[in-house]
Protein backbone atom coordinates (compact mmCIF):
# COMPACT_ATOMS: atom_id res chain seq x y z
CA UNK A 1 0.00 0.00 0.00
CA UNK A 2 1.29 3.43 -0.87
CA UNK A 3 1.79 6.14 1.71
CA UNK A 4 -1.21 8.44 1.60
CA UNK A 5 0.03 11.97 0.93
CA UNK A 6 -2.90 14.37 1.11
CA UNK A 7 -1.06 17.67 1.43
CA UNK A 8 -2.25 20.79 -0.32
CA UNK A 9 0.40 23.00 -1.84
CA UNK A 10 1.49 25.61 0.69
CA UNK A 11 1.93 28.53 -1.68
CA UNK A 12 2.84 31.03 1.03
CA UNK A 13 5.83 28.99 2.18
CA UNK A 14 6.92 28.39 -1.42
CA UNK A 15 6.73 32.09 -2.23
CA UNK A 16 8.64 33.07 0.92
CA UNK A 17 11.35 30.45 0.35
CA UNK A 18 11.93 31.33 -3.29
CA UNK A 19 11.75 35.08 -2.70
CA UNK A 20 14.55 34.76 -0.16
CA UNK A 21 16.52 32.45 -2.47
CA UNK A 22 16.37 35.08 -5.19
CA UNK A 23 17.30 37.93 -2.83
CA UNK A 24 14.03 39.76 -3.42
CA UNK A 25 12.29 41.98 -0.84
CA UNK A 26 8.56 41.78 -0.13
CA UNK A 27 8.16 45.22 -1.67
CA UNK A 28 9.90 44.13 -4.90
CA UNK A 29 7.80 41.01 -5.20
CA UNK A 30 4.45 42.58 -4.30
CA UNK A 31 4.84 45.74 -6.42
CA UNK A 32 1.92 46.04 -8.86
CA UNK A 33 0.39 42.73 -7.71
CA UNK A 34 -0.77 43.11 -4.10
CA UNK A 35 -0.01 45.01 -0.91
CA UNK A 36 3.00 44.18 1.23
CA UNK A 37 0.56 43.41 4.09
CA UNK A 38 -1.28 40.88 1.91
CA UNK A 39 2.01 39.23 0.87
CA UNK A 40 3.19 39.07 4.48
CA UNK A 41 -0.03 37.36 5.59
CA UNK A 42 0.21 34.95 2.65
CA UNK A 43 3.80 33.99 3.47
CA UNK A 44 2.95 33.46 7.14
CA UNK A 45 -0.10 31.29 6.40
CA UNK A 46 -2.58 33.78 7.85
CA UNK A 47 -4.96 33.86 4.85
CA UNK A 48 -7.76 31.28 4.94
CA UNK A 49 -8.60 31.56 1.22
CA UNK A 50 -5.79 33.25 -0.70
CA UNK A 51 -6.58 34.46 -4.22
CA UNK A 52 -5.17 31.99 -6.78
CA UNK A 53 -4.84 34.69 -9.44
CA UNK A 54 -2.67 36.75 -7.09
CA UNK A 55 -0.63 33.65 -6.21
CA UNK A 56 -0.14 32.90 -9.90
CA UNK A 57 1.19 36.43 -10.52
CA UNK A 58 3.55 36.25 -7.52
CA UNK A 59 4.88 32.85 -8.59
CA UNK A 60 5.27 34.10 -12.15
CA UNK A 61 7.53 36.90 -10.94
CA UNK A 62 9.59 34.17 -9.25
CA UNK A 63 9.64 32.16 -12.51
CA UNK A 64 7.46 29.37 -11.03
CA UNK A 65 4.06 28.18 -12.27
CA UNK A 66 1.21 26.55 -10.33
CA UNK A 67 1.00 23.73 -12.89
CA UNK A 68 4.73 23.01 -12.56
CA UNK A 69 4.38 22.82 -8.78
CA UNK A 70 1.45 20.40 -9.06
CA UNK A 71 3.33 18.20 -11.52
CA UNK A 72 6.43 18.24 -9.34
CA UNK A 73 4.43 17.31 -6.26
CA UNK A 74 2.79 14.40 -8.09
CA UNK A 75 6.16 13.10 -9.31
CA UNK A 76 7.57 13.13 -5.77
CA UNK A 77 4.47 11.46 -4.31
CA UNK A 78 4.62 8.71 -6.93
CA UNK A 79 8.31 8.07 -6.28
CA UNK A 80 7.70 7.86 -2.52
CA UNK A 81 4.88 5.38 -3.13
CA UNK A 82 7.07 3.31 -5.49
CA UNK A 83 9.87 3.08 -2.93
CA UNK A 84 7.44 2.09 -0.16
CA UNK A 85 5.84 -0.62 -2.30
CA UNK A 86 9.26 -1.95 -3.38
CA UNK A 87 10.43 -2.25 0.24
CA UNK A 88 7.25 -4.05 1.28
CA UNK A 89 7.65 -6.41 -1.68
CA UNK A 90 11.32 -6.99 -0.69
CA UNK A 91 12.49 -5.65 -4.04
CA UNK A 92 15.49 -3.67 -2.80
CA UNK A 93 17.00 -3.23 -6.27
CA UNK A 94 13.88 -1.40 -7.42
CA UNK A 95 13.85 0.60 -4.17
CA UNK A 96 17.46 1.65 -4.82
CA UNK A 97 16.65 2.83 -8.35
CA UNK A 98 13.59 4.78 -7.24
CA UNK A 99 15.57 6.22 -4.31
CA UNK A 100 18.14 7.77 -6.65
CA UNK A 101 15.35 9.31 -8.73
CA UNK A 102 13.65 10.69 -5.61
CA UNK A 103 16.86 12.30 -4.35
CA UNK A 104 17.23 14.11 -7.67
CA UNK A 105 13.59 15.24 -7.63
CA UNK A 106 13.69 16.47 -4.03
CA UNK A 107 16.84 18.52 -4.76
CA UNK A 108 14.90 20.50 -7.37
CA UNK A 109 11.73 20.64 -5.27
CA UNK A 110 10.22 24.08 -4.67
CA UNK A 111 7.60 22.89 -2.13
CA UNK A 112 8.97 22.66 1.46
CA UNK A 113 5.82 20.86 2.68
CA UNK A 114 6.97 17.68 0.90
CA UNK A 115 10.21 17.49 2.85
CA UNK A 116 8.66 15.68 5.84
CA UNK A 117 7.45 12.92 3.51
CA UNK A 118 10.92 12.67 2.06
CA UNK A 119 12.28 12.22 5.59
CA UNK A 120 9.70 9.52 6.38
CA UNK A 121 10.43 7.46 3.28
CA UNK A 122 14.17 7.98 3.87
CA UNK A 123 13.69 6.51 7.36
CA UNK A 124 11.87 3.47 5.97
CA UNK A 125 14.35 3.06 3.11
CA UNK A 126 17.36 2.84 5.41
CA UNK A 127 15.49 0.46 7.74
CA UNK A 128 14.74 -1.73 4.72
CA UNK A 129 18.47 -1.89 4.05
CA UNK A 130 19.25 -2.64 7.76
CA UNK A 131 21.26 0.61 7.86
CA UNK A 132 20.49 1.58 11.45
CA UNK A 133 23.12 4.32 11.52
CA UNK A 134 21.58 6.29 8.64
CA UNK A 135 18.06 5.52 9.93
CA UNK A 136 19.00 6.91 13.35
CA UNK A 137 20.18 10.20 11.82
CA UNK A 138 16.92 10.59 9.85
CA UNK A 139 14.93 9.71 12.99
CA UNK A 140 16.60 12.56 14.90
CA UNK A 141 15.67 15.00 12.15
CA UNK A 142 12.03 13.88 12.18
CA UNK A 143 11.91 14.16 15.98
CA UNK A 144 12.80 17.84 15.67
CA UNK A 145 9.66 18.28 13.53
CA UNK A 146 7.43 15.98 15.62
CA UNK A 147 5.13 18.79 16.84
CA UNK A 148 4.30 19.76 13.25
CA UNK A 149 3.42 16.25 12.00
CA UNK A 150 -0.11 15.37 10.94
CA UNK A 151 -1.80 12.23 12.32
CA UNK A 152 -0.95 10.35 9.10
CA UNK A 153 2.70 11.38 9.36
CA UNK A 154 2.81 10.47 13.06
CA UNK A 155 1.27 7.09 12.23
CA UNK A 156 4.10 6.25 9.86
CA UNK A 157 6.71 7.69 12.19
CA UNK A 158 5.56 5.45 15.07
CA UNK A 159 5.25 2.47 12.71
CA UNK A 160 8.79 2.95 11.39
CA UNK A 161 10.05 3.52 14.95
CA UNK A 162 8.69 0.06 15.77
CA UNK A 163 10.71 -1.48 12.95
CA UNK A 164 13.78 0.53 14.05
CA UNK A 165 13.58 -0.78 17.64
CA UNK A 166 13.00 -4.37 16.51
CA UNK A 167 16.01 -4.26 14.19
CA UNK A 168 17.97 -3.04 17.21
CA UNK A 169 16.69 -6.11 19.14
CA UNK A 170 14.61 -3.87 21.45
CA UNK A 171 11.36 -5.69 20.82
CA UNK A 172 9.36 -4.30 23.76
CA UNK A 173 10.13 -0.75 22.62
CA UNK A 174 9.17 -1.82 19.11
CA UNK A 175 5.83 -3.20 20.28
CA UNK A 176 5.08 0.02 22.17
CA UNK A 177 5.67 2.01 18.96
CA UNK A 178 3.48 -0.39 16.97
CA UNK A 179 0.70 0.07 19.55
CA UNK A 180 0.90 3.84 19.15
CA UNK A 181 0.71 3.42 15.38
CA UNK A 182 -2.30 1.08 15.66
CA UNK A 183 -4.09 3.63 17.85
CA UNK A 184 -3.42 6.39 15.33
CA UNK A 185 -4.50 4.18 12.43
CA UNK A 186 -8.01 4.06 13.93
CA UNK A 187 -8.29 7.82 13.28
CA UNK A 188 -7.19 7.60 9.63
CA UNK A 189 -9.14 6.83 6.44
CA UNK A 190 -6.67 4.10 5.40
CA UNK A 191 -5.03 0.98 6.80
CA UNK A 192 -1.51 -0.31 6.33
CA UNK A 193 -1.66 -4.10 6.65
CA UNK A 194 2.12 -4.44 6.88
CA UNK A 195 1.88 -2.90 10.36
CA UNK A 196 -0.05 -6.00 11.48
CA UNK A 197 2.66 -8.25 10.03
CA UNK A 198 5.48 -6.41 11.83
CA UNK A 199 3.47 -6.45 15.07
CA UNK A 200 3.01 -10.23 14.76
CA UNK A 201 6.73 -10.62 14.14
CA UNK A 202 7.61 -8.52 17.21
CA UNK A 203 5.31 -10.55 19.48
CA UNK A 204 6.83 -13.73 18.09
CA UNK A 205 10.30 -12.43 18.94
CA UNK A 206 9.32 -11.89 22.59
CA UNK A 207 7.77 -15.38 22.70
CA UNK A 208 4.16 -14.26 23.07
CA UNK A 209 2.45 -16.94 20.92
CA UNK A 210 -1.12 -15.84 21.64
CA UNK A 211 -0.68 -12.31 20.25
CA UNK A 212 1.75 -13.41 17.53
CA UNK A 213 -0.83 -15.89 16.23
CA UNK A 214 -3.66 -13.36 16.52
CA UNK A 215 -1.93 -10.72 14.40
CA UNK A 216 -0.36 -13.21 11.97
CA UNK A 217 -3.66 -15.02 11.28
CA UNK A 218 -5.47 -11.69 10.79
CA UNK A 219 -3.00 -10.37 8.24
CA UNK A 220 -2.53 -13.77 6.55
CA UNK A 221 -6.09 -13.64 5.23
CA UNK A 222 -5.50 -10.13 3.88
CA UNK A 223 -2.30 -11.12 2.06
CA UNK A 224 -4.04 -14.20 0.63
CA UNK A 225 -6.79 -12.00 -0.84
CA UNK A 226 -4.14 -9.70 -2.30
CA UNK A 227 -2.27 -12.72 -3.77
CA UNK A 228 0.87 -11.45 -2.02
CA UNK A 229 2.51 -14.87 -1.91
CA UNK A 230 5.83 -13.87 -0.35
CA UNK A 231 4.08 -12.20 2.59
CA UNK A 232 1.75 -15.20 2.86
CA UNK A 233 4.89 -17.32 3.26
CA UNK A 234 6.22 -14.97 5.96
CA UNK A 235 2.95 -15.23 7.90
CA UNK A 236 2.90 -19.03 7.66
CA UNK A 237 6.41 -19.13 9.13
CA UNK A 238 5.38 -16.96 12.10
CA UNK A 239 2.29 -19.12 12.59
CA UNK A 240 4.36 -22.31 12.40
CA UNK A 241 6.83 -21.05 15.01
CA UNK A 242 4.10 -20.12 17.44
CA UNK A 243 2.04 -23.27 16.94
CA UNK A 244 5.26 -25.10 17.84
CA UNK A 245 5.55 -23.05 21.03
CA UNK A 246 2.04 -24.06 22.12
CA UNK A 247 2.82 -27.71 21.27
CA UNK A 248 0.49 -27.93 18.25
CA UNK A 249 3.19 -29.71 16.29
CA UNK A 250 1.12 -31.22 13.48
CA UNK A 251 -0.49 -27.87 12.65
CA UNK A 252 2.95 -26.27 12.62
CA UNK A 253 4.39 -28.95 10.30
CA UNK A 254 1.46 -28.51 7.94
CA UNK A 255 2.29 -24.81 7.60
CA UNK A 256 6.00 -25.49 7.12
CA UNK A 257 5.52 -28.13 4.43
CA UNK A 258 3.12 -25.86 2.52
CA UNK A 259 5.74 -23.10 2.65
CA UNK A 260 8.48 -25.45 1.41
CA UNK A 261 6.41 -26.31 -1.66
CA UNK A 262 6.16 -22.65 -2.61
CA UNK A 263 9.71 -21.50 -1.81
CA UNK A 264 11.35 -24.57 -3.36
CA UNK A 265 9.68 -23.76 -6.69
CA UNK A 266 10.92 -20.16 -6.42
CA UNK A 267 14.41 -21.35 -5.33
CA UNK A 268 14.33 -19.02 -2.30
CA UNK A 269 17.27 -20.55 -0.45
CA UNK A 270 17.11 -18.15 2.50
CA UNK A 271 13.48 -19.05 3.15
CA UNK A 272 14.15 -22.75 2.70
CA UNK A 273 16.94 -22.45 5.29
CA UNK A 274 14.60 -20.63 7.66
CA UNK A 275 11.93 -23.33 7.37
CA UNK A 276 14.50 -26.10 7.93
CA UNK A 277 15.66 -24.31 11.08
CA UNK A 278 12.09 -24.00 12.32
CA UNK A 279 11.34 -27.66 11.65
CA UNK A 280 14.52 -28.45 13.57
CA UNK A 281 13.21 -26.36 16.46
CA UNK A 282 9.90 -28.23 16.28
CA UNK A 283 11.69 -31.57 16.69
CA UNK A 284 13.75 -30.08 19.53
CA UNK A 285 10.48 -29.25 21.29
CA UNK A 286 9.28 -32.81 20.62
CA UNK A 287 12.55 -34.04 22.23
CA UNK A 288 13.54 -35.82 19.01
CA UNK A 289 17.15 -34.63 18.91
CA UNK A 290 18.36 -36.69 15.95
CA UNK A 291 15.64 -35.30 13.70
CA UNK A 292 16.31 -31.80 15.03
CA UNK A 293 20.06 -32.09 14.32
CA UNK A 294 19.34 -33.28 10.78
CA UNK A 295 17.21 -30.23 9.98
CA UNK A 296 19.60 -27.77 11.66
CA UNK A 297 22.45 -29.12 9.52
CA UNK A 298 20.32 -28.79 6.37
CA UNK A 299 19.58 -25.21 7.36
CA UNK A 300 23.24 -24.33 8.01
CA UNK A 301 24.27 -25.64 4.57
CA UNK A 302 22.12 -22.93 2.95
CA UNK A 303 23.23 -20.02 5.17
CA UNK A 304 26.08 -17.55 4.87
CA UNK A 305 28.59 -17.79 7.71
CA UNK A 306 28.76 -15.12 10.43
CA UNK A 307 25.24 -13.85 9.82
CA UNK A 308 22.81 -13.64 12.74
CA UNK A 309 20.62 -16.42 11.30
CA UNK A 310 23.68 -18.66 10.85
CA UNK A 311 24.83 -18.14 14.45
CA UNK A 312 21.30 -18.74 15.72
CA UNK A 313 21.08 -22.12 13.97
CA UNK A 314 24.55 -23.10 15.23
CA UNK A 315 23.37 -22.30 18.76
CA UNK A 316 20.34 -24.59 18.49
CA UNK A 317 22.41 -27.29 16.77
CA UNK A 318 24.99 -27.20 19.58
CA UNK A 319 22.23 -27.49 22.21
CA UNK A 320 20.94 -30.67 20.56
CA UNK A 321 24.45 -32.12 20.20
CA UNK A 322 24.96 -31.55 23.94
CA UNK A 323 21.72 -33.43 24.64
CA UNK A 324 23.12 -36.30 22.58
CA UNK A 325 26.39 -36.05 24.59
CA UNK A 326 28.31 -35.15 21.39
CA UNK A 327 30.28 -32.56 23.36
CA UNK A 328 33.29 -32.38 21.01
CA UNK A 329 31.09 -31.75 17.97
CA UNK A 330 29.17 -29.05 19.86
CA UNK A 331 32.41 -27.40 21.00
CA UNK A 332 33.80 -27.42 17.45
CA UNK A 333 30.70 -25.78 15.99
CA UNK A 334 30.69 -23.12 18.70
CA UNK A 335 34.40 -22.25 18.56
CA UNK A 336 34.40 -22.17 14.76
CA UNK A 337 31.42 -19.82 14.72
CA UNK A 338 32.69 -17.53 17.48
CA UNK A 339 35.99 -17.16 15.62
CA UNK A 340 34.04 -15.41 12.84
CA UNK A 341 32.33 -12.91 15.16
CA UNK A 342 33.62 -9.32 14.98
CA UNK A 343 31.25 -7.65 17.45
CA UNK A 344 29.00 -9.06 20.19
CA UNK A 345 25.38 -9.84 19.46
CA UNK A 346 22.62 -11.72 21.23
CA UNK A 347 23.52 -14.79 19.18
CA UNK A 348 27.27 -14.73 19.89
CA UNK A 349 26.62 -14.19 23.61
CA UNK A 350 24.31 -17.20 23.74
CA UNK A 351 26.95 -19.30 21.98
CA UNK A 352 29.60 -18.18 24.47
CA UNK A 353 27.34 -19.06 27.41
CA UNK A 354 26.76 -22.50 25.86
CA UNK A 355 30.51 -22.95 25.46
CA UNK A 356 31.00 -22.29 29.20
CA UNK A 357 28.33 -24.86 30.02
CA UNK A 358 30.39 -27.50 28.17
CA UNK A 359 33.71 -26.50 29.75
CA UNK A 360 32.21 -26.58 33.28
CA UNK A 361 34.33 -23.56 34.25
CA UNK A 362 31.90 -22.11 36.77
CA UNK A 363 33.97 -19.07 37.75
CA UNK A 364 34.54 -17.82 34.21
CA UNK A 365 30.93 -18.67 33.38
CA UNK A 366 29.61 -16.47 36.21
CA UNK A 367 31.96 -13.58 35.36
CA UNK A 368 30.90 -13.66 31.72
CA UNK A 369 27.21 -13.68 32.65
CA UNK A 370 27.58 -10.81 35.14
CA UNK A 371 29.98 -8.59 33.17
CA UNK A 372 29.11 -9.26 29.53
CA UNK A 373 25.78 -10.99 28.97
CA UNK A 374 23.55 -9.25 31.52
CA UNK A 375 24.71 -5.68 30.71
CA UNK A 376 24.16 -6.39 26.99
CA UNK A 377 20.65 -7.76 27.48
CA UNK A 378 19.77 -4.92 29.88
CA UNK A 379 20.83 -2.36 27.29
CA UNK A 380 18.72 -4.12 24.66
CA UNK A 381 15.79 -4.54 27.09
CA UNK A 382 15.82 -8.23 26.09
CA UNK A 383 13.59 -9.66 28.82
CA UNK A 384 13.70 -13.32 27.74
CA UNK A 385 17.49 -13.61 27.61
CA UNK A 386 17.89 -11.50 30.75
CA UNK A 387 15.59 -13.88 32.59
CA UNK A 388 17.62 -16.87 31.36
CA UNK A 389 20.90 -15.30 32.54
CA UNK A 390 19.56 -14.51 36.02
CA UNK A 391 18.12 -18.00 36.41
CA UNK A 392 21.37 -19.59 35.21
CA UNK A 393 23.40 -17.53 37.69
CA UNK A 394 21.02 -18.60 40.44
CA UNK A 395 21.63 -22.23 39.50
CA UNK A 396 25.42 -21.81 39.36
CA UNK A 397 25.62 -20.17 42.80
CA UNK A 398 23.20 -22.73 44.23
CA UNK A 399 25.45 -25.57 43.05
CA UNK A 400 28.30 -23.95 45.01
CA UNK A 401 26.05 -23.64 48.11
CA UNK A 402 26.27 -19.83 47.90
CA UNK A 403 22.65 -19.37 48.77
CA UNK A 404 22.71 -15.62 49.37
CA UNK A 405 23.98 -14.93 45.84
CA UNK A 406 21.73 -17.65 44.47
CA UNK A 407 18.67 -16.11 46.12
CA UNK A 408 19.59 -12.67 44.74
CA UNK A 409 19.60 -13.89 41.15
CA UNK A 410 16.49 -16.01 41.50
CA UNK A 411 14.67 -12.92 42.80
CA UNK A 412 15.94 -10.89 39.83
CA UNK A 413 14.77 -13.66 37.50
CA UNK A 414 11.32 -13.58 39.10
CA UNK A 415 11.14 -9.79 38.78
CA UNK A 416 12.03 -9.98 35.10
CA UNK A 417 9.61 -12.85 34.53
CA UNK A 418 6.74 -10.71 35.82
CA UNK A 419 7.53 -8.14 33.13
CA UNK A 420 7.25 -10.72 30.33
Tell me: pLDDT of 259 over 70: yes
Per-residue model confidence (pLDDT) at position 7: 46
Q: Do residues 125 and 117 lie in contact, with contact meaning Cβ atoms separated by under 8 Å?
A: no
Distances (CA, A) of 220 to 199, 216, 226, 262: 13, 6, 10, 15
Domains of the chain: 1-149 (1.10.260.40), 364-420 (no CATH)
CB count in 10 Å sphere of residue 122 = 23
User: Is 0.85 topped by the overall pTM?
Assistant: no
Per-residue model confidence (pLDDT) at position 147: 86
Tell me: pLDDT of 112 over 70: no
Q: For 197-249, how does the pLDDT look when each residue is reduced to its tens digit (9 = 90+)? A: 999 999 999 999 999 999 999 999 999 999 888 899 999 999 999 999 999 99
Per-residue model confidence (pLDDT) at position 8: 56
Q: Is 359 exposed, middle or buried (0-12, 13-18, 19+ CB in 10 A)?
A: exposed
Distances (CA, A) of 145 to 134, 164, 210: 18, 18, 37
Per-residue model confidence (pLDDT) at position 66: 75
As a whole number of angstroms, the distance between CA 35 and CA 28 comes to: 11
What is the average pLDDT across 407-416? 94
Q: For 162-188, how does the pLDDT look when each residue is reduced to its tens digit (9 = 90+)? A: 999 999 989 999 999 999 999 999 999
Question: Shortest CA distance to 1 belongs to which of 172, 176, 169, 228?
Answer: 228
Q: Is 349 exposed, middle or buried (0-12, 13-18, 19+ CB in 10 A)?
A: buried
Per-residue model confidence (pLDDT) at position 6: 45
As a whole number of angstroms, the distance between CA 420 and CA 414 comes to: 10
Element counts in the chain: helices (H) and strands (E): 23, 0
**Residue 305 — φ and ψ, nearest 5°?**
-65, 155
Q: Do residues 338 and 352 lie in contact, with contact meaning Cβ atoms separated by under 8 Å?
A: yes
More confident call, 7 vs 350: 350
Question: Shortest CA distance to 111 belongs to which of 42, 145, 64?
Answer: 64
71: Cα separation from own chain's centroid: 33
As a whole number of angstroms, the distance between CA 7 and CA 158 comes to: 19
Amino acid sequence: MKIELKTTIEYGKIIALNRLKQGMTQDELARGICSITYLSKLENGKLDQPNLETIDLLLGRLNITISALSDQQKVIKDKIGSIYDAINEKNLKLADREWLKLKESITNNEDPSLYVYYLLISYRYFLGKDDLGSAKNIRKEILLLSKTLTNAQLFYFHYFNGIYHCLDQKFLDGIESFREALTLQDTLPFEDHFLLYHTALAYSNIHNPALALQFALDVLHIFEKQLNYMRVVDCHIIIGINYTRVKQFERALEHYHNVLKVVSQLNQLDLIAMVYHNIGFLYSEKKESKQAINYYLKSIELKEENTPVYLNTVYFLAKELIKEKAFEQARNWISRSLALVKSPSSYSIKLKILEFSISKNSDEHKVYLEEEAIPYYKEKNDINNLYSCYELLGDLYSQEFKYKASSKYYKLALTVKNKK
